[in-house]
Amino acid sequence: MTGLHARRRRRVNAFRYVVFTVFGLFFLLPLLAMIRFSLEGSTGGSWSLSSWGQIASYAGPPPLLSGVEITLELAVITCLVVLALLVPTVIWVRLRVRWMTRLVEALCLLPLTIPAIVLVVGLAPIYRVIRQQFSLSALQLFWVYAVLALPYAYRALAAGLEGVDVKTLSEAARSLGAGWFTVIWRVIVPNMRQGVLNAMLLTGALVLGEFTIAYLLLYTNLQVTLFYVSRGTPNAGVLFSTSSAALLFAFVLLLILSYVGRARGRQSERSKVSK
Amino acid sequence: MAVTTPSEVGAQPVRAGRRPLLSSSRLAWTGTLPFLGYVGVFLLLPTGIVLWDAVHGSSGGFDFGAVSTLWSSSTRSYFVNSAELSAITSVLGAVLGAVLSYAVATGNPEGLIRRLYLAGSGVLAQFGGVTLAFAFLITIGPTSGLLLHAGWFYDFPQGIGLIYVYFQIPLMVLVFLPAMDGLKAQWREATETLGGSAWQFWRYVGGPLLAPAFLGAVLLLFANALSAFATIAAWENQISYVVPQQIGTALSSEVGLSSVNQADVLALGMIAVVAVVMTGYTLLQRRTTRWLR
């Protein structure tokens, strides 16, 4: 019996190594090619870091740094808006209006089924109003980016709230005289930090890679800037250094997320044991 | 006495907190108003605008003339191309992604390989955008490829299809891995104890269990490829092959077109197709949860 298992285990392992190697090559080759090209010097085959230095200095057209700045600012603003909007809602629904759980969940997941390319058609008239009434700045994109981030943020927050005994915590806090604001932001949120952090990481990664809506609403964020650089000078090294940097940044965000998720899992296991 | 006091003190604010406004569950739902309002304005309203504009002429009355252009041969060809590209890349991505999911699922759930593949999948599946087109251009582009100079790089569907598969496989890993993880080792052991071979396990146990999840994932990948715009725009922005590209063109050059609301009509067509696909996905998903998870 154990012989059978050992043999199967060996076969599965051999299969796994082959699969990981083949897929690893398929996924890594384009990325490595991009990085290799970004490190190419002025003559073919040489190595240089100049393309990476150009991320800060590339004057365009269009200037790269402003695209980077806009996108980073958008990431921060979008994170804050998503949290301000979703955290109280998710907790409130859990505490007081459980019958709305399905509705809120459905609304949050809806952006997954309405393609961005469809949404942008309907957004065009709305953004015409925003441009006329409020501001021309590309930062206004946060309104719709928060919607795009809803599915990811909702799932992260809902998972974060799963292990929290919301009812007991809120009753305890209320009985000590806390208002609902204190209950939500100072009692429950600290218990779901990991969920909040996950939501922020995913939202940040999303904003970093967004192109469709910005491009079609005629705003210039990082991806749109890269798009125009590629139209003008398709072989600019800076194109590939910046693209690699953005992808690596998103990858690091999600890798952090995977470790944070584990820390939380362990914590809840511990608390189960102690009970 | 000293024992009872705290409970009395503790109980009072609760009563005090139960002011009619806060405790009345009739009004408690108003706490979700900011959320509902936001989603209403930036998600439901745009969708409504698309649907409304698609069936209204410039005069303001109902006008299904524009919608009927969905059946014109030029528009149909965009949908056919979209369907072709989505079908090929979703099936290919699903099969390859399922193989990769199996390899990931059989490994250590806390291991580094799983972590790297999951984080990498998240980035490539959801946040790649235009970058993926650049990466392939520099790898196999017709003149700039470092690996090879592929003459078919700008051919439809194989050139763009390869790039789509590159983000479809990671998405498959993300959506299919939970189902793979749900496949219990005990089922495999039970099969073996009863003398079943690996083939028999996959044919009679694992395959039927995973089939709904797999088909659902194919549909999800189909919808994903159908709605992708960034990658194909960066790949080729002169010729429109698929619906999203044509929506982009219609949006950015609204003046020159015969009908003003062509973007709305195309978007309506997309909504219809995606709605059908996602309904199928939801039904299969329900079926999946019966055994797995």
Digit-coded pLDDT (tens) for B65-78: 777 777 787 888 89
pLDDT digits (tens, 9 = 90+) for A107-128: 998 888 888 999 999 998 899 8
Domain annotation covers residue A98: yes
CB B138 within 8 A of CB A45: no
* CATH ID of B65-288, from 3.30.420.40, 1.10.3720.10, 3.40.50.2000, 3.40.630.10: 1.10.3720.10
pLDDT value at residue B19: 47
Per-residue pLDDT for B183 more than 90?
A: no
First CA to last CA across chain B, in angstroms?
52
- Kindly state whether residues A25 and A113 are assigned to the same domain: no
Residues of A in contact with B160 (CB under 8 A): none
B127 and A CB contact within 8 Å:
yes
Per-residue pLDDT for B236 more than 50?
A: yes
- Kindly state whether residues A76 and A170 are assigned to the same domain: yes
Residues of A in contact with B263 (CB under 8 A): 121
pLDDT band at A2 (very low <50, low <70, confident <90, very high): low
pLDDT value at residue A255: 84
Least confident residue range of A26-30, A185-189, B55-59, B157-161: B55-59
Question: Are A117 and B227 inside 8 Å of each other by CB?
Answer: yes
- Kindly state whether residues A181 and A103 are assigned to the same domain: yes
Across the range B248-275, mean pLDDT stands at 78
Which of B93, B100, B94 lies closest to B114, judged by CA?
B100
Domain annotation covers residue A126: yes
pLDDT value at residue A273: 42
B292 and A CB contact within 8 Å:
no
Domain annotation covers residue A200: yes
pLDDT digits (tens, 9 = 90+) for B121-140: 888 887 778 888 888 888 88
- Kindly state whether residues A15 and A71 are assigned to the same domain: no
Partner residue facing B50 (CB), from A89, A122, A208: A122
pLDDT value at residue B11: 42
Q: How far is the C-alpha of A179 from the C-alpha of A183, rounded, in Å?
A: 6
How many structural domains are present in chain A? 2
Chain A window 68-127: which residues touch B at a Cβ cutoff of 8 Å?
85-86, 88-89, 92-93, 96-97, 100, 104, 107, 110-111, 113-126
Mean pLDDT of chain B: 82
A221 and B CB contact within 8 Å:
no
Give the number of beta-carbon pairs within 8 Å between A and B: 239
A254 and B CB contact within 8 Å:
yes
B134 and A CB contact within 8 Å:
yes
Burial class (CB in 10 A: 0-12, 13-18, 19+), B138: buried
pLDDT value at residue B16: 45
Domain annotation covers residue A72: yes
- Kindly state whether residues A208 and A140 are assigned to the same domain: yes
What percent of chain B lies above the pLDDT cut of 70? 86
Per-residue pLDDT for A148 more than 90?
A: yes
CB A247 within 8 A of CB B131: yes
- Kindly state whether residues A207 and A146 are assigned to the same domain: yes
Give the nearest chain A residue to B32 (CA atoms).
A89
CB B57 within 8 A of CB A129: no
Question: Are A29 and B147 inside 8 Å of each other by CB?
Answer: yes
pLDDT value at residue B293: 56
Domain annotation covers residue A139: yes
- Kindly state whether residues A85 and A34 are assigned to the same domain: no
Least confident residue range of A86-100, B73-87, B118-132, B219-233: B118-132
Q: From the candidates B25, B43, B51, which should be mutated to test the interface with A, based on the most A CB atoms within 10 A?
A: B43
- Kindly state whether residues A133 and A265 are assigned to the same domain: yes
Domain annotation covers residue A58: no
- Kindly state whether residues A30 and A139 are assigned to the same domain: no
Q: How far off is chain A from B10, nearest CA to CA, in Å?
A: 5
Domain annotation covers residue A209: yes
Rg of chain A over CA atoms, in angstroms? 23
Q: How far is the C-alpha of A24 from the C-alpha of B169, rounded, in Å?
A: 12
Query: Containing domain of residue A6, as a range?
Result: 2-38
Give the nearest chain A residue to B261 (CA atoms).
A121
Q: How far is the C-alpha of B55 from the C-alpha of B265, rounded, in Å?
A: 8
- Kindly state whether residues A130 and A251 are assigned to the same domain: yes
